[in-house]
Amino acid sequence: MIKKVFPVLALAVFSSMLGVGIIAPLLPLYAKNMGATGIWLGVIFAGFSISRAIFMPIFGRLSDRNGRKLFICTGLGIYAIISLGYIWADNVSQLILVRLIQGAAAGMIMPIAQAYVGDISPEGEEGKWMGYFQAAFFTGFGFGPLMGGVLTDHFGMNIAFSAMGGLNLLAFLIAALFLPEIRQKKMASSVPSFKEMSASGMVKGLFSFRLTFSLGRGAFACFLPIFAAMYIGLSPTLIGVLLAVEILLLALLQVYSGNIADRFNRKAMVVVGSLINLTFLGLVPFTHNFWQLLGLCALQGLGGAISMPASSALTVEEGRKFGMGSTIAIFTMAMSIGMAIGPLLGGVINDFVNINSVFYFGASAGLIGTGLFIWFTR
């Protein structure tokens, strides 16, 4: 079944993430033009992740009981409509409202789509199919910023926002027309509680890893462009190349590392990938030119590619015990919390210490998370 269904799901996810990625380089400029200060910029970025983190466990649990397709299609439909809200927004408050609604809609898409893949993945091939899924996710998100820059340069930001809405509408149609509903063997009352889930050492270990990994990634995404522009003197184009290379390399390598995760020790792969990633963050302040930063971005892509399919495969194993939607939603919530807190804490560290300490903070968080993962899963 998975070979027939997965291309439909992957195409929908790719189209949606391509649309989401379009606004990644545009939103700071758009908010600045509205008069947003640094604090309000942080709120605008964090609002999406906070809203998504709040609603994901709720939607994940409901999808375990009522099926996946309804939530995926509803989320994509809302995402397509609210994308036009960026054009409608006249001030920072309205922009924050759009981000909050968009975050809630996102809580119905990615974790539940990933749970769908987990439901239909054959035992022993969890890493392979999770690697393919995340490759579709990151490929769309990686090409999005490049597409957004071209559309904005030639046609303006409103066209870029409209393109985001159009691509999510396409994803909605693909899912609504071609994605079959599946029913789990056990639903409703058989789904364990979150309290039972929290007693699992593997669940606690994976949550710690996801949270700290995202803390570092959130700080990196927010402050690498500032570091590259102010301290190395890179142009926006070269900064875009750095980010695109990291994301696209991450997408490409996951296809291979997912297969490796089905053959080797998954816990060891999580640890190795996490150590590579925190090494990358700790070395950023020592770079002095574009090529050194490019090498480190490639290193981060490698670290993420090693750890993410393995951790996702372990998550699927736990999902078979506790409910796929509920389990994956918990781990995606950890990612959202990290992506929200990382830039906020990074901003405080940058203001009171210096920008180099932001990357040391990310590396330290990763080291703590790796230690907690090893401890809880021992």
The three state secondary structure string of 235-273 is CHHHHHHHHHHHHHHHHHHHHHHHHHHCCCCHHHHHHHH
pLDDT tens, position by position, 205-219? 888 888 888 888 877
Please tell me the predicted confidence (pLDDT) of residue 332: 78
CA distances from 136 to 49, 124, 130 (A): 21, 21, 10
Note the Cα 366 to chain centre separation in Å: 17
Confirm whether 37 is domain-assigned.
yes
Using CA atoms, how far apart are residues 5 and 51, in angstroms rounded to an integer?
Answer: 29
Residues of the chain above pLDDT 70, percent: 93
Instruction: Confirm whether 25 is domain-assigned.
Output: yes
pLDDT score of 375 more than 90: yes
Least confident segment among 4-8, 282-286, 318-322, 364-368: 318-322
Q: What is the pLDDT of residue 184?
A: 53
Q: Is the Cβ–Cβ distance between 15 and 171 less than 8 Å?
A: yes
| Mean pLDDT, the chain, integer | 82
Q: Are 309 and 114 in contact (CB under 8 A)?
A: no
pLDDT digits (tens, 9 = 90+) for 125-164: 777 887 788 788 878 877 877 777 778 778 888 888 898 8
pLDDT level of residue 38 (50, 70, 90 thresholds):
low
CATH number at residue 281: 1.20.1250.20
| Residue 278, C-beta contacts closer than 8 angstroms, at least 6 positions apart | 216, 362, 363, 364, 366, 367, 370
Confirm whether 188 is domain-assigned.
no
In this prediction the pTM is 0.74
Q: Residue 17: inside a domain, yes or no? A: yes
Q: Side chain identity at 355, as an amino acid letter?
A: I
Asked if residue 338 belongs to a domain, the reply is yes
Domain, as residue range, for 97: 2-181+194-376
Q: What contacts 199, CB < 8 A, 6 or more positions away?
A: none
| Segment 100-127, tens digit of pLDDT | 998 899 888 888 888 888 888 888 877 7
With contact defined as beta carbons under 8 Å apart, do 369 and 277 qualify?
no
Q: What is the pLDDT of residues 63-80, one digit of tens each?
A: 888 888 999 999 999 999
| CA 327/CA 247 separation, integer angstroms | 25
User: With 90 as the cut, is the pLDDT of residue 81 above it?
Assistant: yes
How many separate domains does the chain show?
1
> Buried b vs exposed e over 239-257: b needs ≥16 C-beta within 10 Å?
bbbbbbbbbbbbbebbbeb
Range with lowest mean pLDDT among 147-156, 157-166, 236-245, 348-357: 236-245
Least confident of 4-13, 18-27, 41-50, 188-197: 188-197
Name the residue among 304, 288, 302 with its Cα closest to residue 356. 288
Is residue 89 situated within a structural domain?
yes
Residue 364 in domain: yes
pLDDT for residue 191 is more than 70: no
Contact between 166 and 19 under an 8 Å Cβ cutoff? The reply is: yes
Picking from 375, 334, 355, the residue whose alpha carbon sits closest to that of residue 281 is: 355
Does residue 189 fall inside a structural domain? no
Give the closest residue to 225 by CA, choosing from 367, 74, 45, 89: 45
